[in-house]
Structure 1
Amino acid sequence: MLKRIAVSELCLGMYIHEFCGSWMDHPFWKGSFLLKTERDLQRIHASDISEVWIDADKGVDIAPGQASQSVEEVSAEAEARLLAAGSRMPPARVPLDQELERAQKLCARSKAAIVEMFSDARMGQAVRLDQVGSLVEEISESILRHPNALISLARLKTSDEYTYMHSVAVCALMIALARQLELPDEQVREAGIAGLLHDVGKMAIPDAILNKPGRLSDAEFSTMRSHPESGGRLLLESRQVSALVLDVCLHHHEKMDGSGYPHRLAGEQISLFARMGAVCDVYDAITSDRPYKKGWDPAESIRKMAEWKGHFDERVFQAFVKSVGIYPVGALVRLESGRLGVVLEQHAQSLLTPRVKVFFSARSKVPIAQEVIDLAKLVGRDRIVGRESAEEWGFKHVEELWLGIDTRGGALFG
């Protein structure tokens, strides 16, 4: 049974289910654990946390006669507070094309804010993070209105704007992943902030290295690998972010097998949020066009990431796949019927039956009338049988099929 108690009532042997307050108010990266040491108890007493949730079924209960609140009592109390404060309801779900229009404007505003923020850092000025909270809130609401719109749009960044739009994309991916992991709202927000700021240390890297079209030399690669610690120092000096955000900045390049950098952390040494950051950072990096290579197809990227044993936390990666789909929006797929199409939207219950816009016959190798089909309604009659490469087929600007606008001009074929 869950009970909310005062920190003064905590004792060893209790199972802490959740701290009441922000991640910034306590020194633990784990939100739930068995309280086993006097040192941890003292750290809680010394923090800004005044109340915690305990799980009496997993640890020691409070003594008879001590005051506590049940989940039901707190829920009723919280509902009353929300009504009194006139809290907004979560935004309603809208169609993909409708949210894409809003997402385009949000991407432009976000890029401008990040360019300004990173430029300040590059010039040695104190980084102002006053816009970060509102940006994360807007991105979070966009994902609630439609989970695929902004994430898919941010993936279409050009190579010269990669550094800035990568931050927007990872922010959105972190929010979606945090929701998939069913983290509390405050932690979802912190995950978004961490995504937005995870690469701020790249402002200490010369443009000649960041945008080099060829392979980096050993010395250049060493300089590039310094960006997590540079970002960590910058955020620490700003005194405006939580330890969680700082940790993601420092450790999003660590790997579960200990082969990552900068500290070669392994397994449980890597925090949950840094593990999340590692997955989101890599996915956006390999699906984006860079100065030295073209981005991979989203579905192919998921397949390749699944093969990198020792790189990612398996539980986190599985949750990530659920959030973006086995066949993410924009993936080019072949159907059993012989038609080729691009994925438009995920199905809420099945990763294998997205909505697809078909446009080409793989058998006769000619364009066909474009048609949107819902594979969930065609079970037993048609299905995805594989991924395809737009480059190998000679298709250009495939993103226009799901985006609904001409992104760069030119014909789709030839």
Structure 2
Amino acid sequence: MLKRINVQELTLGMHIDGFCGPWMDHPFWRNHFVLTDPLDIDRVLASDIRDVWIDTSKGLDVPPGTETVMQVETIQAVVQEILQAEAPARDTTPTSVAVEYARAAQICAKSKQAVIAMFQEARMGNTVNTELAHNLVNEVSDSVIRNPEAMISLARLKNADDYTYMHSVAVCALMISLARQLKLDEAQTRSLGLAGLLHDLGKAVMPMEVLNKPGKLTDAEFRIIQSHPVKGHRMLADKQAVDDIVLDVVLHHHEKMDGTGYPDRQKGNSISLFAKMGAICDVYDAITSNRPYKKGWDPSESLKKMAEWTNSHLDPQIFQAFVKSLGIYPTGSLVRLTSGRLGVVMEQCASSLLKPVVKVFYSTNSDMRIPPEVVDLSAPGCKEKITGREDPEFWRFKDLNELWSGMAQASW
């Protein structure tokens, strides 16, 4: 049971399931967690938030007889309540990646809830709330403009169970970043962000046992999954809810350069620029994300694999632009330096794809952890260089994501 209560009723052991108010008004980067620290209650009380949602199935309930503002059986009402709140003012002032992480994390949390709501609407045969979708695209776009790395990197840290929803958010961010790299106009960039957000809408009507199957799909199950572009396109086209760019990407983001894709087996130049962009962004997030049936690949390893798929699957020129938008060693990549130290990429360098900012934390010479040190490889006088990427599966550092993001795991 979900209950909306006044913040004065909060006690330790309650499971927060959403804050009622503008997106950026509450003091936390996550929206779903159990209250275990009295200081967290103090932070809520000190904020402008007056009501919160709690999930009594995951934490303590209010005492019997306590008046609640509202209670519902499904999360959909919660999501609609949050999304009807006043949107924050648009802000595209450039920020550092460290500063943007906190804002991007909040946007990820809110976006996930909104995508869940849109998928629920689609599943019930209702029209997708395009105003809501456009607001989300604006939020993601503003974050990418402020600092492109934060949103893209954090959206990759999705839990396997949330893959379907957060994948949509991640592809939205990747499409906006790639569109900016290709210097497309503002209208096209907005449409491509919306296309990324809605590209997998057809999966809303896929059987959950097939969509989340941990093992290999049968031929029959794969044919079911292959129908999602057509179903998503039909949902949006029938309601005339979006423009032709969005419809094209939704329908054709699984087409391949050699004509072996689906649903129309388009080939080469018959595939639009926008669908080619969708294919690249979709593949990158898919292979870097943890899924119910596999662990995600390292970002730089993923780019190496994708380079092997150009011409047959991906457009090589657009892929080159995609690499420039992320860096040769994207944020989160594990790399080895000339000194023998290992580090994780924290931030890209605008002047050189080969000289990112790296946090070193391990010495292969002494085979031991060392105090973390941030090294800007582009700094004057820096003699360190990257000699190559390292396989995280070999080293098995459990805190790799925390080292570059400050967050041990995703909590959206």
The residue identity in structure 1 corresponding to 2:362 is: F
Q: Partner letter of residue 256 of structure 1?
A: M
2: CA distance between counterparts of 1:107 and 1:95? 18
Indicate which of 380, 384, 387 corresponds to 1:385.
Answer: 387
Deviations 1:16-63 (CA, angstroms, capped at 9, x unpaired) = xxxxxxxxxxxxxxxxxxxxxxxxxxxxxxxxxxxxxxxxxxxxxxxx
Q: Which amino acid aligns with 1:354?
A: P
CA contact under 8 A between 1:390 and 1:396: conserved in structure 2? no
Matches within 5 A, 1:327-366: 327-366=329-368
d(CA) in 2 for partners of 1:238 and 1:152?
33
Residue 371 of structure 1, aligned match among 370, 373, 377: 373
Question: Which shifted more, 275-284 or 118-127?
Answer: 118-127
1:408 is displaced (CA, Å) by: 7.2
- Aligned equivalent of 2:204: 203
The separation in 1 between residues aligned to 2:389 and 2:395, in whole angstroms, is 12
1:243 equivalent to 2:247? Answer no
Percent identity, aligned pairs only, is 58
Partner amino acid, structure 1, of 2:348: Q
2:288–2:298 Cα contact (<8 Å) kept: yes
Letter in 2 for 1:357: K
> Does the CA-based 8 Å contact 1:340-1:359 persist in structure 2?
yes
Q: Which residue of 2 aligns with 1:139?
A: 140
Asked if structure 2 preserves the Cα contact closer than 8 Å seen for 1:397 and 1:407, the reply is no
Name whichever of 125-134 and 294-303 sits farther off.
125-134
Cα displacement (A) at 1:397: 3.1
C-alpha displacement of 1:380: 7.0
Corresponding residue of 2:157: 156
Q: Which residue of 2 aligns with 1:44?
A: none
CA distance in 1, matches of 2:117, 2:342: 42
Following superposition, the deviation at residue 124 of structure 1 comes to: 2.2
3-state DSSP of counterpart to 1:293: coil
Q: Which residue is equivalent to 2:184?
A: 183
Q: Give the Cα–Cα distance (whole angstroms) in 1 for the partners of residues 209 and 96 of structure 2.
A: 41
The answer (yes or no) to whether the contact 1:330–1:402 under 8 Å persists in 2 is: yes
With a CA cutoff of 8 Å and minimum separation of 6, indicate the structure with the bigger relative contact order.
Answer: 2
AA partner of residue 401 (structure 1): L
Residue 128 of structure 1 and its aligned partner are, at CA, apart by: 2.1
Q: Secondary structure at the match of 2:328?
A: coil
- Which residue matches 1:112? 113
Q: Can you list the C-alpha shifts for 1:242-262, whole angstroms capped at 9, x where unaligned?
A: 011000000000011111111
Distance 1:393 1:323 in 2: 27
CA distance in 1, matches of 2:314, 2:254: 10
> Is contact 2:157-2:409 (8 Å) kept?
no
Report deviation, 1:378: 5.9
- 8 A contact 1:117–1:129 mirrored in 2: no
Aligned-partner residue type, residue 176 of structure 2:
I
Deviations 1:316-350 (A, max 9, x none): 10000000111000000011110000001111021
Is the contact made by 1:194 and 1:249 (CA closer than 8 Å) also made in structure 2? Answer: yes
Distance of 1:405 and 1:155 partners within structure 2: 12
**Counterpart residue identity of residue 209, structure 1:** V
**What letter matches 1:326 in structure 2?**
I
Instruction: Give per-residue Cα distances to partners, 1:93-140, cap 9 Å, x unaligned.
Output: 111121100011101110111100101111222322220111111111
Q: Secondary structure at the match of 2:373?
A: strand
Counterpart-to-counterpart distance in 1, 2:306 and 2:407: 30
Note if contact 1:397-1:408 (Cα within 8 Å) is conserved in structure 2: no
Distance 2:163 2:127 in 1: 23
Change (3 A) 1:211 1:182: same
Alignment coverage as a number of residue pairs: 322
State the Cα deviation string for residues 256-309 of structure 1 (Å, max 9, x = none).
111111100011111110000000000000000000000000000000000114
- The alignment's TM-score, normalised by the length of structure 2, stands at 0.76
Aligned to 1:400: 402
Q: In structure 1, how many angstroms separate the alpha carbons of the residues matched to 2:177 and 2:407?
A: 25
SS at match of 1:94: coil
Q: Return the alpha-carbon distance in structure 2 between the equivalents of residues 200 and 311 of structure 1.
A: 22
| Partner SS for 2:322 | helix
Question: Structure 1 residues 235, 379: closer, same or farther in 2, change over 3 A?
Answer: farther
| TM-score relative to the length of structure 1 | 0.76
For the 8 Å contact 2:158–2:410, the answer to whether it is kept is: no
Q: Label 1:406 to 1:89 Cα distance change in 2 as closer, same or farther (>3 A).
A: closer
Correspondence for 1:102: 103
**Alpha carbons of 1:370 and 1:186: their partners in 2 closer, same or farther (altered >3 Å)?**
same
Residue number in structure 2 paired with 1:50? none
Corresponding residue of 1:84:
none
**What's 2:31 paired with?**
none
**Partner Cα separation in structure 1 for residue 410 and residue 174 of structure 2:** 25
Q: Which runs of 5+ in 1 are unaligned?
A: 1-87, 410-414
Q: CA deviation at 1:405?
A: 3.1
Assess, with a 3 A threshold, how the Cα gap between structure 1 residues 171 and 89 changes in structure 2: closer, same or farther. closer
Judge conservation of contact 2:359–2:373 (CA < 8 Å) in 1.
Answer: yes
Structure 2, unpaired ranges of 5+: 1-88
Q: Residues 356 and 378 of structure 2 are in contact (CA less than 8 Å); yes or no, is this contact kept in structure 1?
A: yes
Q: Which residue of 2 aligns with 1:21?
A: none
Task: Kindly provide the CA deviation profile for residues 155-183 of structure 1, in whole angstroms up to 9, marking residues without a partner as x.
Answer: 00011000000000000000000000000
1:276 correspondence with 2:277: yes
Aligned residue in 1 for 2:314: 312
Structure 1 residues 378 and 203, CA, compared in 2 at 3 Å: closer, same or farther? same
Q: Secondary structure at the match of 2:195?
A: helix
Cα distance change, pair 379–389 in 1 and its aligned pair in 2 (3 A): farther
Alpha carbons of structure 1 residues 89 and 164: separation in structure 2 relative to 1, 3 Å: closer
